[in-house]
Amino acid sequence: MSDRIFNFSAGPAALPLPVLEKAQAELLNYNQTAGMSVMEMSHRCKEFDEILDHAKKGIKKHLNISDDYEVLFLQGGASMQFAMIPMNLYIPGKPVDMINTGAWTKKAFKEVKKLAEWNLAASTEEVNFSRLPHKDEIKLDSNASYVHLCSNNTIFGTQFKEFPNTGDVPLICDMSSDIFSRKIDVSQFGLIFAGAQKNIGPSGLAVVIIRKDLAERADESIPTMFQFRTHIQEGSRYNTPPTFGIYMVGLVMDWIESQGGLEGLEKHNQKKADILYQAINESGFYYCPVDEQDRSLMNVVFRVQGDKEALEKQMVQEAESKGLSGLKGHRSVGGLRASIYNAQPLEAVEALVSFMKDFEKKNG
């Protein structure tokens, strides 16, 4: 497989090679017994029952999820959850508390504003989201319907290390870009959602982990497809779900097991990020615009000192030609971004650091 490059894209992102190989081996004949691809089988057949059950069990096991919660496989990506959550969980007269830490919370906020009363509980927009709000800057309303937060800001490269204590108010978390990257306590959250394409599988699928009692808040007049209740009752098969994506999630869960579970991955992710941040910190050529304590282990954002855009552009191109792909920073931030999700091997980070040193030598 020497023709595979190192993919630093923010998403869709690199998947574990053993997962892709397994899917390839089973593509024409699932499990060597079904005589067809997972893509071709009924979402209500026995084989697919097992596939969905396997994916769900893997998620529940790795995140240690209690039976108070349901795991759902939905469509519309993480972005549809921005609307579906207020549609289902907002209680009139009880505002939604929003913690604004970047582009993805702003998008969520836009939908909340259409559907609910809201409070801005905290925002770090005035420093261009280069840090997270400190604990004492988050003003929570004990009467809120829920609190919305994003655990890892894919674009700005910040990540919550600890989550605010919201008491009896459910904490809703967009974990699209760091779910399964570390151990978390699911019981701290009312609902966790994630687009699959960063750490769990292919795009087109969103995983939602919802405390079952919260689904009962929704008014029955909400269109059927938009009620969590429907998908809980129908086991994520009210309509045809993204079957191949669900199958891939199951394979990724098996791979996580082979990596020592979230404990193993957490260590591995810490090591990768340490190597990269250290290389940035030690050089006088690059810098990371994010406050040290808030830096993401998943999306490492960095720039060339003096924000030299032409040099950054050249760097992205040269990296690409050396098999280091997807390093361009998001258009709203500029600079560079290396996404080093679970599936990113250590060798990719080492190759990047070595390239960065060479580039600095030539251009510094």
Closest distance between ligand PLP and the C-beta of residue 154, in Å?
3
Contact (CB, 8 A) for 96 and 124: no
d(CA 194, CA 46): 27
Query: Which member of 97, 174, 178, 294 is catalytic?
Result: 174
Active site residue 255: no
174 belongs to the catalytic site: yes
150 lies in the binding site for ligand PLP (CB under 6 A): yes
Catalytic residue from among 56, 60, 198, 272: 198
Q: For residues 312 and 221, what is the distance between their CA atoms, to the nearest angstrom?
A: 52
Structural tokens at position 94 = 């009880």
Active site residue 46: no
DSSP string of 231-271, one letter each residue:
HHHTTT-SS---HHHHHHHHHHHHHHHHTTHHHHHHHHHHH
Determine, following the binding rule CB under 6 A, whether residue 104 of this chain makes contact with ligand PLP: yes
Give the residue with the Cβ less far from ligand PLP, 145 or 176: 176
- Report the alpha-carbon distance of residue 274 to residue 13 in Å, rounded: 20
Comparing CB distances to ligand PLP, the nearer of 332 and 363 is 332
The closest alpha carbon to 154, from 345, 350, 346, 337, belongs to: 337
> Does residue 297 touch ligand PLP according to CB under 6 A?
no
Interface pick for ligand PLP out of 7, 88, 145, 154 (rule CB under 6 A): 154
In whole angstroms, how close is the CB of 194 to ligand PLP at the nearest point?
8
Maximum pairwise Cα distance, the chain: 64
Q: Cβ 107 to ligand PLP, closest distance in Å?
A: 7
**Choosing from 104, 178, 272, 328, which is the catalytic residue?**
104
CB atoms within 10 A of CB 322: 16
The pattern of x and - marking residues 62 through 101 that bind ligand PLP according to CB under 6 A reads ---------------xxx----------------------
61: tokens are 């096991």
Residues 200 and 179 sit within 8 Å (Cβ to Cβ):
yes
- Minimal distance in Å, beta carbon 193 to ligand PLP? 9
Determine the interface stretch with ligand PLP among 174-182, 256-264, 285-293, 317-325 (rule: CB under 6 A): 174-182
184-203 residues in contact with ligand PLP (CB under 6 A) are 195, 198
Binding piece for ligand PLP, criterion CB under 6 A, among 45-53, 56-64, 172-180, 313-321? 172-180
| Burial letters 14-45, b for 16+ CB under 10 A, else e | bbbeebbebbeebeeebeeebeebbeebebee
Distance of alpha carbon 2 from the chain centroid: 28
Residue 174 as a binder of ligand PLP (CB under 6 A): the answer is yes
What does residue 9 show for φ and ψ, rounded to 5 degrees?
Answer: -65, 145
Binding flags for ligand PLP, 343-362, as an x/- string (CB under 6 A):
--------------------
What residues are annotated to the active site?
Answer: 104, 174, 198
List residues near ligand PLP by CB under 6 A.
11, 77-79, 104, 150, 154, 174, 176-177, 195, 198
